[in-house]
Amino acid sequence: MKKIKTALVSVYHKDGLDEIITLLHKDGVKFLSTGGTKSFIESLGFPCDAVEDLTGYPSILGGRVKTLHPKVFGGILSRRDNESDCQQVAQYEIPDIDLVIVDLYPFVDTVASGACDADIIEKIDIGGISLIRAAAKNHKDVIIVASKAQYAPLAQLLKENGAQSTLEQRRWFAKEAFAVSSSYDGSIFSYFDGEETPSALRVAIDDAKVMRYGENPHQKGTFFGDFNEMFEQLHGKEISYNNLLDIDAAVSLIAEFNDPTFAILKHNNACGLASRDTIVEAWKDALAGDPVSAFGGVLITNGTVDLAAAEEINKIFFEVIIAPAYDAAALEVLMQKKNRIILVQKCANNTQKQFRSILNGALVQDRDLKVETAEDLTQVTKKAVDPAQVDDLLFANKIVKHSKSNAIVLAKNRQLCASGVGQTSRVDALKQAIEKAHSFNFDLNGAVMASDAFFPFPDCVEIASKAGVNAVIQPGGSINDQKSIEYCDENDIAMVTTGIRHFKH
């Protein structure tokens, strides 16, 4: 156990600090501080020495230099069990500092505010980051509290132990401190790098939630991120690793649609989706797309779930439902099953990059945020698409964009009839979609087909035509495009190309 005799306190965030200062004073701890924090401690009725009195130097250079002095850093870094260190601190009259409570200038918030470069540079902390590293390095003798997130653990320690700590406790605080400093430096690097293609990958996310397990029970899993920033969980069991994958896929998919829409996902792919005038109608037609796969699925809508919709939804078993809002009566119905996860989506996913670990490194790419409109369509066949077909083609194209490649989507009247996903052959994906549509009694006459990539041969348009499809949307770009176009012309099929491929692996 190490006794805390002197504490250096210099912080930006003072909420919750009063309890800590009171507990330390009660145990006879002496305070050192600067500026506003010194005034704060004294306002609580406790004595506090100024760092300037210890160092013999005032704060200089507009506050850039306050604590950068051997009498401060010597007191933090001195090894209490090292005879030479003890002799030197005695020779130069350097007091031991046993606890450092410090936080950093709000660099990230300043960048986010749109401040000018000069103001951002001034928010690069020098003294604070140096104090954090020094105290964390010498955690054998010193406790470091590097952010307001550690105020509560420190207060708990002081209540349980008084003003003393174990090595294990000090090491934990040091670990947390290095997490703060590494994240801070990563943010500064990202600001200075500022390139479309970064020269190095620095990712620091402070919020960690250990999952029950990973993708399978024998795998460990952790989610890093602030889930509560995007969602409010109203009801249900703990969210799993696989739930999070489906929730991510669902949120990305529903963001494509403006009309009242309901989607049902399994294993990151839509198995049902429809846009209608009301949410309950959208739900009924989404479920009709594949009522079998909907069992245990993740449901998402872009509209308020009312009582009529809730009563229909309540007829099946599902894992998760996501909506921007729910009527009170709808919640009463949906909460009848205790494990159902009911989420309110509070905001969109505004991240611009995707990350994936691969081999001994990582892949980083821009998120696929391209949404095709009618203006992006190029008519390549003699037969032109009519307005209703354009609506269905764009509808189908949004779904195929969010389906695992190779992917084919068949749609009609803004309803997903069926999809073939994750196939090694585009022909197999199409055959899977046709077979599935027929199994649920869909009439494909007048349906449209969307493909996530070009057709290398005319076989897909031939098979689709025989099934009743009369309009096709695809990226184009194959050396054999003309063969597919010619088949369409010969069989009265309309085809448009987008020039945009939507592979998803």
What type of residue is 139? Answer: H
**Of all helices (H) and strands (E), which one includes residue 126?**
none
**Contact criterion met (CB below 8 Å) for 11 and 102:** yes
The answer for residues whose C-beta is within 8 angstroms of residue 244's C-beta and 6 or more apart is 211, 223, 227
Nearest residue to 285 via CA among 263, 314, 252, 300: 263
137 is catalytic: yes
Whose tokens are 């695992």? That residue is: 404
Nearest residue to 494 via CA among 484, 504, 502, 480: 484
What type of residue is 440? Answer: F
Q: Residue 143 has which token pair?
A: 């406790």
**Length reported for the chain:** 505
- Alpha-carbon distance of 332 to 235, in angstroms, equals 11
The answer for residues whose C-beta is within 8 angstroms of residue 501's C-beta and 6 or more apart is 452, 453, 454, 475, 477
139 is catalytic: no
- Alpha-carbon distance of 454 to 475, in angstroms, equals 5
Whose tokens are 């000090």? That residue is: 170
Nearest residue to 261 via CA among 304, 291, 293, 230: 304
DSSP state of 150: G
**Contact criterion met (CB below 8 Å) for 120 and 111:** yes
DSSP state of 376: G
| Phi and psi angles of residue 139, each rounded to the nearest 5 degrees, phi first | -65, -10
- The active-site residue out of 14, 123, 137, 431 is 137
**Contact criterion met (CB below 8 Å) for 8 and 29:** no
- Alpha-carbon distance of 2 to 139, in angstroms, equals 10
Nearest residue to 472 via CA among 457, 483, 488: 488
- At 213, is the secondary structure helix, strand, or coil? coil
- The active-site residue out of 267, 284, 383, 438 is 267
- Alpha-carbon distance of 454 to 477, in angstroms, equals 6
- Alpha-carbon distance of 7 to 144, in angstroms, equals 10
Active site residues: 137, 267
